Amino acid sequence: MKSLNYAEYLELGTLLSTQNPRTPPGSESSVVLAEHFFIVAHQSCELWLKQLALDLDAAVDALAMANDPTGAEACVEYLERSAELLRVLHDQVGVLEKLPVRHFAVFRQYLGTASGAESRQFRGLGRLLGDEQRPGRLYEEFTAAALRSGFSIAEVCRRGPATGVYHRIAETLLDIGNRYWHWKIGHVALVSKMLGDRRGTAGTTGADYLIGRIAMPFPELRQLRSQLHMSVAHTGSAHEQASL
């Protein structure tokens, strides 16, 4: 069997040859380097989005057989990794803040209509996670799996650890939702810093457009958390009245 070295395994020859700045030859080297940085950051995001989609799809498949304890536990592993990947994506927004605005303003004119809004993987992630209008495939499968085991989502939230793996899944979904939201907020802040009130390359209204598209996944879980607080407050008030 032929030996496989590090560069071959990672196909580094291909990977490292895909950064092609559009800044014209002869331009200031610092501008070319800034555009290279910009490309690497976005390519890295797309690679992480690919892994995130694979892990979330695997979590959905595991939930489909969640009556099997092994499948349910595998779902938790995929979801926990997904939450960490969203943290990485948020951190990459912070890295992009090190892009000098003066250089970005120079090479941005060569981007044409290319825009992050065109990312199919990003849009696919939004559909998978869902929002206030639609639950998303991941949450639908979680609801179905819990029901097959005899729990409503309200029971999972109310009874907590007593529902076992479903409690852990619910908690991890909330982590995913929060980190997804933080990532989108961080992106808005970055765009506002870099563009001010200028329009996006795809013709959008820039930061205002992004603000209008910020949504928190899994709204039912957050609503049930709110109801739990209200229930505890009502119970406490009833106990105080009974002691008078």
pLDDT band of residue 75 (cuts 50, 70, 90) is: very high
- We find that the CATH architecture of domain 30-109+132-237 is Up-down Bundle (1.20)
- Reading the block at residue 62, the tokens are 């595991």
Q: Could you report the per-residue pLDDT of 179-237, keeping only the tens digit for each? A: 999 999 998 889 888 887 766 555 555 666 677 677 889 999 999 988 877 665 555 45
Q: Could you report the per-residue pLDDT of 150-194, keeping only the tens digit for each? A: 999 999 999 999 999 999 999 999 999 999 999 999 988 898 888
Q: Could you report the per-residue pLDDT of 13-57, keeping only the tens digit for each? A: 999 999 999 999 999 999 999 999 999 999 999 999 999 999 999
Give residue limits of the domains in the chain: 30-109+132-237
Q: Are 156 and 167 in contact (CB under 8 A)?
A: yes
Q: What is the pLDDT of residue 115?
A: 83
